Chain A
Amino acid sequence: QQQVKQSPQSLIVQKGGISIINCAYENTAFDYFPWYQQFPGKGPALLIAIRPDVSEKKEGRFTISFNKSAKQFSLHIMDSQPGDSATYFCAAPYSPDSAGNKLTFGGGTRVLVKP
């Protein structure tokens, strides 16, 4: 059973600052590591994802860094904005077979960006 440990549980950052969230996983038979963003009253939405054949992926102000040997991946939010205030989840898939993907989620990080 895959476990994904996410830290910190909460984060307060000033507008324009950098938010950093870290995740560590256990098993290595995965090829996809997504990050989800959840606003209050809404479902999680896919924010950005990385495959382990690259060490970094950037989409706008969001960057994923991946360290395969350490079994860790992190999300960096550059130039954080109040609209980024949300709960962020990392996840790792665990597919017992080829049909569908079971995602194991980290515990979530509540990010608050102060204006």
Chain B
Amino acid sequence: DTAVSQTPKYLVTQMGNDKSIKCEQNLGHDTMYWYKQDSKKFLKIMFSYNNKELIINETVPNRFSPKSPDKAHLNLHINSLELGDSAVYFCASSPTTGAAQHFGDGTRLSIL
């Protein structure tokens, strides 16, 4: 009965590869987010979707492309991975007008 689930939990890959992270929420929320947490624990928003529509797109390299097939799913595809992409990526969701965001347990991405 996990509310926000991400897969995979760990992702180890080489520089230059392309990878995807999947996220699903069963809370019935309209809004979903992707955050990046660096090695110093700093959390920064990357993207936000509301009802499959992109509403927040922070200054993120265009190698990162979110895709929302429906309002319960928000996937993150990353092209040409770089060393600096190593981080923990969190998916979150919230009601449209509510600020309480529910986070998944993260995907730890390690670039070799």
Point out residues on A near B: beta carbons under 8 Å: 32, 34, 36, 38, 41-46, 49, 87, 89, 93, 96-105, 107-108, 110
A100-B104 CB under 8 A given contacts A34-B99, A49-B99: no
Contacts of A34 in B (CB 8 A): 99-100
**Residues 64-105 of chain B, each 1 if its beta carbon lies under 8 Å from chain A, else 0:** 000000000000000000000000001010101111111111
If A49-B100, A103-B45 touch, whether A43 touches B31 (CB-CB below 8 Å) is no
Seen from chain B, the residues whose Cβ lies within 8 Å of a Cβ on chain A are 4, 30-31, 33, 40-45, 48, 50, 55-56, 90, 92, 94, 96-106
* B contact residues around A98 at 8 Å (CB): 96-97
What's the Cα separation between A87 and B43 when bound, in Å? 12
CB of B103 within 8 A of CB of A99, answer no
Partner among B41, B56, B103 whose Cβ is within 8 Å of the Cβ of A102:
B56
Contact of A100 among B55, B102, B106 (CB under 8 A): B55
Complex contact B100–A102 (CB within 8 A): no
Q: Choose among A100, A104, A107, A108 the residue with the greatest number of B CB atoms under 10 Å from its CB.
A: A100
